[in-house]
Structures are given as C-alpha cells and as structure tokens.
Amino acid sequence: MIRRFLALVFVVTMSHTAWASSVEANLSSQVLLLARLSGSKVVPAVQTQAEGLVAVLLNFQKDSAFITGTVTGMTSAITGIHLHRGRAGENGDVVLDLSSSLQGDVVAAATKLSSIPPAVIAAALKGELYVAVHTMLNPGGELRGQLEAETDVQLSAMLSGEAQVPPVTTDATGMVVATLRQDGKKLRIWAVFSGTAQVTAAHLHRGASGTNGDVVADLSGMIRGNTIVGELDASSFVEALLRGEVYMNIHTSAYPNGELRGQLSTTARTQLAFEVWLDGAQQVPPISTMARGVGKFWLSASVDTLWWDIYADGLSSTITGVHLHRGAVGASGDVLLDLSASVQQNGWIRGSSTSVSSALIAALLSGQVYVNIHTANNPNGEIRGQVWRLLREGFVASFDGQQQVPPVTTLARGTGIVSIDRTGSSLHYEFVLNGVVPQAVHFHKGKRGENGDVLFDLSSSFSAVAMAGATASGYWTAEDMPAFDAVTAELFFRDSVYVNVHSALYPNGECRGQVTRQYAPMGISTADNGSQQPVQLSPNPVQTTLWIRAESAEGSLLAWRVFTLRGETVLEGTAEYSAGGYMVDVSSLPSGVYLLQMTFSSSNRRALPFVKQ
C-alpha cells in the first residue's frame, strides 16, 4: 500500500517533466488489432450462439505480423476463415486466407509484415478489414468481426472567438487536445491559449457546432495561467462527446458568455494518432520559461504521410526552428524531421510531410520521438515535448492445459488480449475459450512455469457460450479495488502475469495463458498426471458404444467417469480391463462434447474428449 501511495505521489509531482510512466518507458513498436466475432455482424445477420476473437499484432520494427484467435459454439464444421476487405455492414473480397492455419477452433499464423500488400495494411489501420468464419451450415459466414486498433480516443479543437454563438471579435486563439480513455470514463484535457482578457471560468458544454448548451464539466479548477490541464469523469456525456456535440468554452471578464470556443472532434483519418505537451521542464537540461505548447500528430493509414497541428504561447523570442528528434524522455538525439517550414503566425505550427521513414514510424510508436522548439534566446530549445501515441500497448494470451503447473490433459483452448493505456491507469481484456465452462478466472502473478497469487478476479465478466465455451470482456482500472496502477502494469511488461481458468473438473486450473507481447503458437496438450498410458477411444464421434483400448493394460482395474464440459459427472463405473478393450454405453447421453477420465490400477490417469452424436 505504501509503495503504491509513493508511486502515485511521484506521478503527480512529476507531471509534464522529464519522466516517463512504467508503460511509456516500455512501449514497443507493435500495433494490436482486435476483432470480436458474432453472427449479428454477418451481412445479412446469422442466428448463432457462436462467438470468437481474432487478434493481429503488427510489428513495424521487427517486420512481423502475427494472427491468433479462437471461436466457440459453432453450429457445424468450419470450412474457411479469411480476412476480407470491407467496412462494417459491407461485404468484400478475401485479402488473406487463414484456413490452412486453423487447428480445430483455433487459428495461429505468422508472416513478414513486408509480405502483406501496403493497401491491405492501410485498410487494417483504417478499420476496413474484417474476419469471417465460414461453416458447413453457414457457407456465407457464421461469424464476423471488424478489425479495430486497441487505442484510446483523441479529440481536439482550435479555439477562437469566431466559433462562439454569436461570434465575438478577439485576437485570442488557442488549442485543446483531449484523450478519452478507451472505457469512456476518463477524459484528459490539455489546452493552451493566449490573447484573452482575464479568464473567469472554463467549461465543457453539451451542444453541436453553432448551438449553445448546458455545462457538462467545470474546468475552472484546472486553469493555470494560459493553460488548462487536468482529468475528469466523462461517463455522463461520453456519447455526446463521440458525436462531436461537446465544446470547450473559455469565459473572460470582457466576454462573460465566452471569448474562446472550440468543438471537440475526433481525429478520424486514421487510428494512428499522437499527442504532445511542451514545456521547458522537458528540455535537457531543463530551462525556466513561461512558454507552453500543445499539439497532435497523426499518421496516414498507409503510414507514408505525417500531419501535425501544434500551438505554442509565451516563447521568449522568435522561433528559429522546430524539429522532431529521436530520443527517449530525458535524452537528446538527432533530428528525424524538420518542421520549421510549417511555422505560422500567432503561435501555430501546422503542416505535413511525406518524408516518413520506417525508422521514424518505429520511433514514434515506441515513444522515442520528441518535438523541440528552438528560439533566438534558447537556440538549443526553449520548450520540448515527448510525442506519445494513443495506441494502447498490446499483449496476447494463448490458453491450453500444458501451461498449467503441473500440466493437465484437456481439450480446452483459448485466445485473449490485454491492452494498457500509456499512463498505466486502465487495462482492457478480451478472452474467448473453447472446450471449458469456467467456474472462476483470475489474473495471477507469475512467470511461465510458476504459480502465483491472484491479482484480480475476472470471474464476473465471463459468460458461457453454447455449453461448450466462454467469453469475457472488461476493464481493470485505477478506480477499481484492487486498483490497477504502475506497479501492476510493470508485471505485465516483465511477462509476470498469467490468466488461470478454473473448472469443476480442474479446480486448480484447467487451462492457462501467459500474458505476453511475444507471440507463441499453441499446441494441443498431451500431458498426463503420471506416466503415459497410450489410450484410444473409438468410434469418435460415437452414437451408442464407445470402446476404450489401452496398450499393456490387460488385467488392470479401470475406473472411469464421463464429465460434461461443466464438470458434471454423467456416467461412471469400474471394471477389470481385458485384452480386447472395454465398452462404455453412451447411448443415453444427449448430443455434445464430453470428457472421459480413465484411471488404471497403475495410478495412470488419462482424460480424453469424445463427441456424442
């Protein structure tokens, strides 16, 4: 508790200085895309209980692309799984066939990023690719989901008197850049303005462009000179915010109804948005100046064009240069891109460039780029700001019984993702499991091959799917108890967190997935609770009689139990195993997937799945 309190104090006191959070210090150049699959998204919609998840990791530095996913509750055999080009609600052509990478209900594939056509990558980054899973009963597609980047939402506005209703005449101007956390609950505000009369208040109002509306958030307590900096609860007006129906209003003594106004709107051209806050404290070494700046950058979906809008105020002298430099927080580095030609009047720096190298892209994504504004009085730089992405840091988890400690034999498989915002205040998780109905699920502390304590209970977010699987979706945030914080976030970056899925059959855990940024292909578990006893079940699928055949087991005492995937015992018995095998009558069982557990007198235990038709 003391450690977390000290961490919080450190964050608060070091805001906007040469310091990076644990997430910011560990950013990679990966982009995580996620598709949640359902029948309702198929065009036209399909009635099915099936669900699925597919995750795509694009790594621009390592030239790699990884795809992993799981479906559960399918009505019939899968005949194909593809990436198609098309917006939500539209059907489109196949751009990548993943069918050969399908193992049962799990897909796992890897390729070089450079081998994928640039147009396909651009479509993915614009949200114009979808995953479709085709089955025998639904050849046109039983499941579908749009690939979307795991990202927080950027909103921004230019502040002017002209935007007031009615307009006012003023030389004042400014800019606001806001970040909406992915869960829609927290909104961070950065604003810089100049030229106003004495500021008396600042608010966020509900209202479309050209209309006035009620106050939804009071920003007055965040005003510091010519800046507004703070965080607030946006949950009561988040839908209006995303519709572009919220505006910032700065009230002054000369214009009590508002001197500056700006309509907050999303950066909609791409999912690759960045933000920057500039001050003298971030210079190396720091300098004392009243100047401040705020800005946004965004990359085209084709990652070949970079745009920027920056506003700076209070500089001690004329701007002599503006550059993007390579360098982490607290370090200086070489110029990557010269922005000097885009300096305009009244503090604005606005422009674009097509000189976008792969090195610049990788550096931007990993938080290794800063903006430096040089002036006549401070030729080495008067204000500086680290350029931070809105993309959340992505992790994947592949589930099976082999990862349990000790391993267990099970058909259960699954795929999950975790994403963390750069401030380390929220974690988003999505999981799809097949072949298991969980009784409890937790985040645990522990590296691969280790067991550890529970960090957070995920059980309430899981829902069963068609009696044969489960899905989960939710957030773990700084507002929860226990809180998600920088100390916990650091565990994820050290590959020290796993998800454990507990079932009735395996109360200590039936399947497990290590949360990692390193993709790991999955394989069906064949581990035993003892030495291996080769066993076969036939026929499988079965209608009436299931035969158990085991090598070198003649004369052994056989104890057997048939479980549902919920862990309920539906049949059991004991017998002396003979050379010809042993017959189990399963004719009374309803159709479905079952697990047959067999224990021979040698204490050798096996558990194998079968399908009852």
Cβ–Cβ < 8 Å for 329, 20:
yes
Instruction: Count CA within 13 A, CB hemisphere, residue 201.
Output: 10
Indicate the average pLDDT of the chain. Answer: 90
- In the predicted model, is pLDDT for residue 293 greater than 60? yes
With cut-offs at 50, 70 and 90, classify the pLDDT of residue 553.
low
CA distances in angstroms from 330 to 276, 285, 408, listed in the order given: 15, 8, 48
Residue 532 or 522, more confident: 532
Q: Quick one: what percent of the chain has pLDDT higher than 70? A: 90
Cβ–Cβ < 8 Å for 88, 41:
yes
Thinking of the domain 153-316+351-365, which architecture would CATH place it in?
A: Sandwich (2.60)
What's residue 257's pLDDT? Answer: 98
With cut-offs at 50, 70 and 90, classify the pLDDT of residue 4.
very low
Cβ–Cβ < 8 Å for 124, 232:
no
What's residue 367's pLDDT? Answer: 96
Residue 177 or 112, more confident: 177
- In the predicted model, is pLDDT for residue 559 greater than 90? no
CA distances in angstroms from 537 to 356, 430, 524, 583, listed in the order given: 59, 34, 17, 10
What's residue 607's pLDDT? Answer: 64
With cut-offs at 50, 70 and 90, classify the pLDDT of residue 110.
confident
Give dist(CA 61, CA 41) in Å, integer.
33
According to CATH, the superfamily of the domain at 535-612 is Macroglobulin (MG2) domain (2.60.40.1930)
Q: Which residues pair with 464 in a beta bridge?
A: 470
**Helix locations, 358-500, DSSP H:** 358-365, 486-493
Q: Which residues pair with 593 in a beta bridge?
A: 611
Q: Which residues pair with 160 in a beta bridge?
A: 173, 261
Mean pLDDT of 444-449: 97
Q: Which of 234-243, 474-483, 526-535 has the lowest mean pLDDT?
A: 526-535
- In the predicted model, is pLDDT for residue 527 greater than 80? no
- In the predicted model, is pLDDT for residue 137 greater than 50? yes
What's residue 556's pLDDT? Answer: 77
Record the tokens describing residue 57, joined without a space: 């990791």
Mean pLDDT of 123-131: 94
With cut-offs at 50, 70 and 90, classify the pLDDT of residue 2.
very low
Cβ–Cβ < 8 Å for 434, 410:
no
Mean pLDDT of 471-488: 97
Q: Which of 140-144, 289-293, 346-350, 554-558 has the lowest mean pLDDT?
A: 554-558
Q: Is the dihedral of CA 527, 529, 531, 537 positive or negative?
A: negative
Mean pLDDT of 425-449: 97
Model pLDDT for residues 348-378, shown as the tens digit of each residue: 999 999 999 989 999 999 999 999 999 999 9
With cut-offs at 50, 70 and 90, classify the pLDDT of residue 115.
confident
Domain boundaries, the chain: 2-150+392-514, 153-316+351-365, 535-612
With cut-offs at 50, 70 and 90, classify the pLDDT of residue 223.
very high
What's residue 519's pLDDT? Answer: 63
Mean pLDDT of 329-340: 97
Of the candidates 216, 223, 172, which has an alpha carbon nearest to the alpha carbon of residue 202? 223
Mean pLDDT of 561-581: 77
Mean pLDDT of 326-334: 96
Q: Which residue has the tokens 């500021």?
A: 199
Residue 608 or 383, more confident: 383
With cut-offs at 50, 70 and 90, classify the pLDDT of residue 576.
confident
